[in-house]
């Protein structure tokens, strides 16, 4: 396995495509005003699958601010080799971002990646939407969502990262204060497997 980041991209595996169709069906009766997706092909493909399953056919808008964390020299590198060469840094990236030295890799800082995403999300205040679907990437969205919730940098990864095709729900009335409703939920996959027994 390799790091992908903001400039790497690989096609979705068939298992992922199947899970995204299941997710789309799970969300099919939810009326989203818009779907915003990272403009990277893997996220855009994911968003299109979900959009196709939705009964309300919301517009899908690609947004560069939702791209994955720019990981510099880590992008395309084998994860196992990087963990062997930089064990403390890889631990920090997964567990305590306050200790991650982005300069070592020419990567975006925690502030840069979260600021670009949270700034975009806060622009949605002007749109007066009721429900918006955001499709992005695990490392960036984990840090950005936790930033919106007011977590310190050292605690952004406290509850781990987001799984592929998971559902996280935030609510806000003012785009200054956010409330977590659901974190990293994959129950719809279990429900689908149970229904197909």
Reply yes or no on whether the pLDDT at 111 is more than 80: yes
Cα–Cα distance, 85 to 63 (Å, whole number): 34
The CATH class of the 2-186 domain is alpha beta
Cα separation of the two ends of the chain: 32
Reply yes or no on whether the pLDDT at 50 is more than 80: yes
Q: In the prediction, which pLDDT does 137 show?
A: 96
* C-alpha distance from residue 67 to each of 1, 8, 73, 133 (Å): 20, 11, 17, 15
Number of CB atoms found within 10 A of residue 150's CB? 9
Q: In the prediction, which pLDDT does 40 show?
A: 95
The DSSP bridge partners found for residue 24 are none
Residue 144, both tokens = 């950005």
% of the chain exceeding 70 in pLDDT: 96
pLDDT tens for each residue of 124-145: 999 999 999 999 999 999 999 9
SS3 per-residue string spanning the chain: CECCCCCCCCCCCHHHHHHHHHHHHHCCCCCCCEEEEECCHHHHHHHHHHHHHCCCCCEEEEEHHHCCCCCHHHCCCEHHHHHHHCHHHHHHHHHCHHHCCHHHCCCCCHHHHHHHHHHHHHHHHHHCCCCEEEECCHHHHHHHHHHHCCCCHHHCCCCCCCCCCCEEEEEECCCCCEEEEEEEECHHHHHHHHHCC
Q: In the prediction, which pLDDT does 1 show?
A: 76
pLDDT tens for each residue of 88-108: 999 999 999 999 999 999 999
Q: CA angle, corner 140, sides to 89 and 68, nearest 5? A: 100
How confident is the prediction for the chain on average, in pLDDT?
Answer: 94
């Amino acid at each position: 396995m390799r790091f992908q980041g903001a400039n790497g991209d690989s096609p979705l595996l068939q298992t992922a495509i199947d899970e995204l169709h299941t997710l789309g069906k799970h969300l099919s009766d939810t009326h989203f005003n818009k779907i915003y997706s990272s403009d990277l092909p893997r996220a855009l493909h994911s968003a299109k699958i979900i959009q196709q399953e939705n009964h309300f056919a919301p517009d899908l808008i690609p947004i560069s601010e939702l791209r994955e964390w720019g990981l510099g020299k880590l992008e395309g590198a084998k994860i196992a080799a990087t963990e062997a060469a930089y064990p403390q840094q890889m631990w920090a990236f997964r567990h305590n971002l306050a200790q991650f030295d982005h300069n070592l890799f020419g990567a975006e800082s925690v502030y840069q990646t979260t600021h670009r995403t949270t700034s975009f999300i806060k622009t949605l205040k002007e749109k007066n939407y009721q429900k918006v679907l955001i499709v992005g990437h695990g490392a960036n969205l984990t840090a950005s969502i936790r930033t919106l919730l007011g977590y310190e940098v050292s605690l952004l990864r406290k509850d781990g990262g987001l799984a592929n095709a998971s559902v996280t729900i935030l609510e806000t009335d003012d785009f200054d204060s956010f409330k977590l409703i659901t974190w990293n939920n994959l129950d719809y996959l279990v429900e689908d497997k149970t229904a197909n027994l």
